[in-house]
Structure 1
C-alpha cells in the first residue's frame, strides 16, 4: 500500500483553517482565541472563547487519544470484535463526560475531584478495553503495537465560558448553564431534555455551541484557493445523482462503517439518503436489497451525515433517546432544503470506477479533541461559497442567505481495499496544488456534497448568549464544535452504474 496521506486536507480546508487562525471579529464584544494553535498544543489549554468574560478556566470536556486511528493493521477476523471494543471506549468517554457535567459543585469544592473521580477511573476502564482489543487481534494471529496501551490516559480540557441558545421561543432557560468560576450548573434529567442548560459550555443542553463558535461571514476575508490547473489527461466531466433531502426522516444513531453490530455506535443522529436499509446490522447483501431514495434506481449507495439542530428550546421526538437527548443532542432537527450529490473528475488524470462496497469517511467527528489532522468541514452561506469557507466556525449569514455545508471526499484509492482498519488509509486526498494522487493510489470519481439549510439568523447578544443557535450533532465531549462535521459514504451500484459514472467523467460530459 502507498504511504498514508490521510493528513492531507483539501485546499479549501487548508485555506479555511489558515484564515480562521487570524480572524478576530469585532461587534457585540466577541473576540475568539486562536483555535488552530490550540489544536496543536496541550489539551489543558483554553480552546477559543469569549475573552470579554474573564472567568476562571474550568474543565469543560474530556480529551482522550483516538485509539482507532492507531489501529492500522487489524486482521479481518478480528475487526468486528475490535469495533465493539472501540464502541465501548466511546461509551466510556460519554459516561465520563456526563459525570463531569453533573458534578460542578463537587469540582468547585475540590480541585482534585476531576482527576480522582473521573479521569483516573476512566483510564482504568480504557486500559482494560485496550487490552481486550489486544487479545482480539492476537487471538487470530495479528500483531499488536504495545505503544497503543499508552493511549489509555485521558486529560481534562477547558473551553470557553460563554453560553448559547438563549431566549428563542420563550422556552430557553439560561440560569442553569452560565457557570462562571465555580457556580453550579444544573444537570438535565430525563435524557437531557431541552430547555435547560448544563455545565458552562452553552447550548440548549449545556455542552455547546458557544458564542465563540459563530462568526458573521460578511466580516471574514476571502479565503478560497484557486483549483489546480488541468493537465491534458484531466477528467473534466461530472455525474449528478438526485437522492432527495431525507424528507421521510430516515434517521438512526448507528454507524455501520465504524461500529458494525453496535446500536448507537455514533452517539449522534444521521440523515440518510440513497440506500434505505442502513443501520448497525446492515451487510453488503442488505445494501443490495435496501431500495433507494435516488431517482436512478441503480444507485443504492449510502450517503449519510450528522443532522443539524436548531436550539430553540424545542424537544425533538428523540429527546429521551440514544443519539438524541441521552447523548446531549437536543433541539429541532432541520431538514436540508437542498442536497446536491455530484461526482467530479481529477485535474491530473482519468479516473477508475469506484469498487463495489467502497467505504469512505471524510472529516473527523472527534476533531475538537483529536486536532485538525483529519478535519474536513466546510461551512459557508449562499452567495459566499466561492469566496469564504469556514472550518471551525458556524456562519452567521446575512438576510436572504442560507447556511451551506459542503463535503469533498478523498479522491484517491489504493486499488485494493474497500475499507481499512482505521477507515482512512485505503483512501487519500490528492495533492492540493497539482491534483495528483499519492504513489500507489488511483484517481476515482470524487464525491462532493452540498447541503443547504434555512435556519434563523443567530444573534450574539450582549450577555454572551446566542439567540437562534444551531449546531451539528456529535459526540457529547466534542461540544458540538463545527470542526467536527463529517460525512460517510458506501458505494453500492447495480446495472454497471459505477463504470458509467467513470466513463461520463472521463469523456468530459455532465451527466445525471
Structure 2
C-alpha cells in the first residue's frame, strides 16, 4: 500500500518525508468514553486508553487538558492527548471470553500494551495542527460488513507473519492464526472544515481527501479545505497464545471479538481528544520532524510506563469471563 512506501521514505530518507512516530504505553482499561458517552460512569463497552492522566468520565472541551494532566504515557512529554480503542477478546468454544493482551511495536516496548502513534504533515503545503478542544473519532461501531465500513477508507488489520510484517491488510479479522499477532491500523481523516472543533457525530467536521488519499496528495474537498495531520494508530494484539486451532470454533471461523460485541472486525473504531501543550504540535509539523523531533521534549519509554491511572469502573475484565464487560452481546 502507498502508506508503506511513505513510511519507508521517512525511515530511510529523512529529507523526503516527515512524520512523528512514537510510543504511548497503556494508561488504563475501563468502560469510559467521554467523547461518545460523556458523564456516563460505565460506558457500553470496554476501552484501552493511552496518553495524559487527565482522562476522565466527562472531559470538558472548554478546558485545556494539557494543564490538567500531570503525566503522559507518550514519548513526547508535551503530548497529553488521549487516544483510545476497543479491547480485543478471545471467545472459547465453551462460550467464555479472555482478554487478548497487547504488546509494544518493534522498538517500542511500552508497558500495558499501548499503541504506536503517527502524526504526518501534508507534503505539498501548510499543515494546520489540531486546536485546543479538538476531538474526533473514526469508524462505525455498528458496521458488520465491508460495504458499511468501506466509507472509512483506511481501517484495516495486518496478520503479522513476523513483527515487521506491513502488507496483506484486510478490513475484517484475519481468518487464520497469525504467527506474531494481529495489528489493528486506524488512519484518521486529514481535512478539516476550519471552523468546528467537534460535531454531533464527532466525524462531520473532518473528511478524507476529495480524491486519492493523504499519502498521494489528494486535495481536500471544498467543504473541508484545511489540511490537518494524518493521525494514525497501530495497535498490536498478542493473539499468539490463542493460535492453537483446536481452541477455535469447530466450524473453522475466527475466534476473536471486540469488546463491543463485533466478531467480524468491520466495526473497528478509534477516538481522539487533543491535548498537546501550547503550540508544540504546530511547531513539530512546521519543522517537518522525522521520527525524532528536536523541537519537542522526549521522555524515555520507562518514564512513560510509570504514568498509569486506576479504573473508575469496578469490574472484572480479566480471567475467563462468562460475558463481555458491560454484558455486551455479540452481533453480526
TM-score after normalising by structure 2: 0.68
Query: Is 1:263 aligned with 2:41?
Result: yes
Distance change (3 Å), C-alpha of 1:412 and 1:329: farther
| Matched position secondary structure for 2:266 | helix
Distance 2:96 2:292 in 1: 38
Residue 309 of structure 1 and its aligned partner are, at CA, apart by 1.7
**8 Å contact 1:377–1:482 — kept in the other structure?**
no
1-structure distance, mates of 2:52, 2:96: 24
User: In structure 2, do the counterparts of structure 1 residues 432 and 347 end up closer, same or farther at CA, with 3 Å as the change threshold?
Assistant: farther
Mapped to 2, the partners of 1:504 and 1:331 lie a distance apart of 44
- Give the greater-gyration-radius structure (CA): 1
* Higher relative helix content: 1
The residue number in structure 2 matching 1:343 is: 119
Of 231, 241, 247, the match for 1:447? 231
Deviation of 1:297 (Å): 2.4
Q: Deviations over 1:65-115 (max 9, x none)?
A: xxxxxxxxxxxxxxxxxxxxxxxxxxxxxxxxxxxxxxxxxxxxxxxxxxx
Structure 1 gaps, min length 5: 1-10, 13-223, 315-327
1:303 aligned onto 2:87: no
Higher relative contact order (CA 8 A, sep 6+): 2
- Indicate whether 1:464 and 2:240 are aligned: no
Which residue is equivalent to 1:98?
A: none
Kept in 2, the 8 Å contact 1:238–1:504? The answer is no
Within 5 Å, which residues of 2 pair with 1:193-208? none
**C-alpha distance in structure 1 between counterparts of 2:189 and 2:33, whole Å:** 19
CA–CA distance in 1 between the matches of 2:46 and 2:277?
28
Q: CA deviation at 1:466?
A: 5.4
Shift of 1:390: 0.7
Correspondence 1:353-502 to 2 at 5 A: 353-368=129-144, 371-372=148-149, 374-375=151-152, 376-382=154-160, 383=162, 385-399=165-179, 401-430=180-209, 431-432=211-212, 434-439=217-222, 440-455=224-239, 456-457=242-243, 459=245, 463-464=250-251, 469-474=255-260, 476=261, 479-502=262-285
Cα distance in 1 between the residues matched to 2:144 and 2:232: 23
**CA distance in 2 between partners of 1:500 and 1:432 (Å):** 27
Q: Kindly indicate whether residue 57 of structure 2 is the aligned counterpart of residue 280 of structure 1.
A: yes
TM-score (norm 1): 0.46
Once the two structures are TM-superposed, the CA of residue 313 in structure 1 deviates from its matched residue by: 7.9
| 1:237 is aligned to 2:18 | yes
Q: Structure 1's 297 and 454: CA in aligned 2 closer, same or farther, altered over 3 A?
A: same
Tell me the alpha carbon deviations over residues 358-393 of structure 1, each in whole angstroms, 9 at most, x when there is no partner: 112111111128923544531112358543111023
CA distance in structure 2 between the partners assigned to 1:306 and 1:242 by the alignment: 18
Superposition pairs of residues 161-176 of structure 1, within 5 angstroms = none
Q: Distance in 2 between matches of 1:398 and 1:419?
A: 37
Q: Which runs of 5+ in 2 are unaligned?
A: 10-14, 106-114, 294-332
1:329 and 1:278 map into 2 onto residues whose CA distance is 30
Q: From the superposition, tell whether residues 462 and 262 of structure 1 become closer, same or farther in structure 2 (CA, over 3 Å).
A: closer
Instruction: Quote the offset at 1:473 in angstroms.
Output: 1.5
Of residues 389-398 and 494-503 in structure 1, the stretch that sits farther from structure 2 once superposed is: 389-398
Q: Is the Cα contact below 8 Å between 1:243 and 1:273 reproduced in 2?
A: yes
Distance 1:459 1:484 in 2: 24
Q: What whole-Å deviation, never above 9, does each CA across 1:329-378 have from its counterpart, x for those lacking one?
A: 94224233332111112244331121122112111111128923544531
Q: Distance in 2 between matches of 1:381 and 1:287?
A: 36
Aligned residues: 262
Measured against aligned partners, the alpha-carbon deviations of 1:414-441 in whole angstroms (never above 9, x if no partner) come to: 1111101121111011232542111142
Alpha-carbon spacing, 1:313–1:332, altered in 2? closer, same or farther (3 Å):
farther
Pairwise CA RMSD: 3.3
2:323 equivalent in structure 1: none
Using the alignment, how far apart are the partners of 1:225 and 1:341 within structure 2? 15
Q: Distance in 2 between matches of 1:334 and 1:423?
A: 29
Q: 1:462–1:364: structure 2 CA closer, same or farther, 3 Å change rule?
A: closer
Cα deviations by residue, 1:300-338 (Å, 9 ceiling, x for unpaired):
100111111233489xxxxxxxxxxxxx99422423333
CA contact (8 A) 2:100 2:237 kept: no
Cα distance change of structure 1 residues 459 and 286 upon mapping to structure 2, 3 Å threshold: farther
> Which residue number corresponds to residue 253 of structure 1?
31
Structure 2 distance, partners of 1:329, 1:345, is 44
1:17-32 correspondence runs (5 A) = none
Partners of 1:392 and 1:483 within 8 A in 2: yes
Secondary structure of the equivalent of 1:255? coil
CA contact (8 A) 2:157 2:184 kept: yes
